Amino acid sequence: MRRALTWALLALGAAVGCDGGCGACSGGAPKAGALVEPEARVELLDPGSAPRVELEVGRWQGLTYHWQVRNESSFGLQGNKPIKAPTVVANMTFQVTHGTADPVLRERGGRTLRLVEERATVDSIEVDPKGLSPELVTALNQGLAGYAGTRTRTLVGEDGELVEMKTELVGGVEPAPEEKEMLDRTWEVQRRFPFRLPPAAVGVGGKWRFSETIEMSGVKAVQVAEMTVTQIHASEVVIRVQVRQHAPRQELIHPFAPGKTALLEQFRGDGDGELTIDRLTGIPMQGKLSVTGRLTLATVGKPNERMSFIAASVLRSSARILGEGGLDPLPDAGEDMEADGGPPLDAASDADGAP
């Protein structure tokens, strides 16, 4: 039961992402502490209108915040009624153990990454009872309750990239190797969430793009995400996210026929959403991402069977900054910038919006 319920944690990740094996090594064995996967290419397309602001992760040791994620998904064979998976709601608490002033250092692509280290603990995880029988809800929640106390170690880049996520505890105790491996694959999905902060100051209308090679259940694909600033407030920035995925024809292990090989004939995924980012810390305070995907497989050999799968997912998240040591911060008395029809930046900001 515990092993089966581990797969329910897959719902914590976005519907788009990587489940391991992304990237490729080059140039022999890496040195200790080095990252060998290629860096995603981030390209500024339009800086947007003035005033502009710098957006990057800035967190201090002891900073604590609460995060809730809700994932609704459905899938099925084309031509059949889709199956709706149970909606999973998880609550987690993050605490920064190494901040921007005392970062964890990693080498990648000839440069040093300065990474914020956080430890995230699952406070609760349960299914939404809507549309489910009381008996099923009770059974699922009883099993999922065993994951309260699960803890991961996360390294976050200055542009918001989740560079690394590793399981430390499951249900408050050290997990078995098999269980740790399964959960680490789950976090890989979340780690490939299609978002980065821009490489330069941006204003309303500012647009940037990043692309990367990903692997999803054995399918090698390309993910391209575009972000556009739609609003700038005194303490937050609202960013629209659009994501596209595609994959070339390729052979892979058949997902439903052990020992057989399948030919991927078509794969396409599209997503659209919005994130509200805290300007001081880079924490996503509100988020929603809707994703649809279509995949067509043909069995290699005889009998030659073809099937098409359709999937859809809606991921919603919200965060609340608790401050240092879990204390609520003072309320923000700042005003919105001109982008929302409010007053402009104060005189302490220059033409590019830098403080």
Q: 3-state secondary structure string, 292-306?
A: EEEEEEEECCCCCCE
Give the per-residue pLDDT at 80: 87
Is 342 domain-assigned?
A: no
Query: Going by DSSP bridges, is the β-strand pair 151-156/207-216 parallel, antiparallel, or unpaired?
Result: unpaired
The ranges of the chain with pLDDT < 50 are 1-37, 326-355
Is 272 domain-assigned?
A: yes
Give the per-residue pLDDT at 123: 96
Is 239 domain-assigned?
A: yes
- Give me the domain span that covers residue 57: 38-326
Is 28 domain-assigned?
A: no
Give the per-residue pLDDT at 322: 92
Contact call for residues 269 and 245 (beta carbons, < 8 A): yes
The domain spanning residue 219 has which CATH number? 2.30.230
Number of domains in the chain: 1
Is 346 domain-assigned?
A: no
Give the per-residue pLDDT at 279: 96
Contact call for residues 84 and 74 (beta carbons, < 8 A): yes
User: How big, in percent rounded to 5, are the helix, strand and coil portions of the chain?
Assistant: 10, 45, 40
Structure tokens at 163: 């560079």
Is 86 domain-assigned?
A: yes
Is 98 domain-assigned?
A: yes
Give the per-residue pLDDT at 179: 87
* Nearest Cα residue to 201 out of 351, 40, 39, 41: 351
Is 45 domain-assigned?
A: yes
Q: How many residues does the chain have?
A: 355
Question: Counting Cβ atoms within 10 Å, is residue 57 exposed (0-12), middle (13-18) or buried (19+)?
Answer: buried
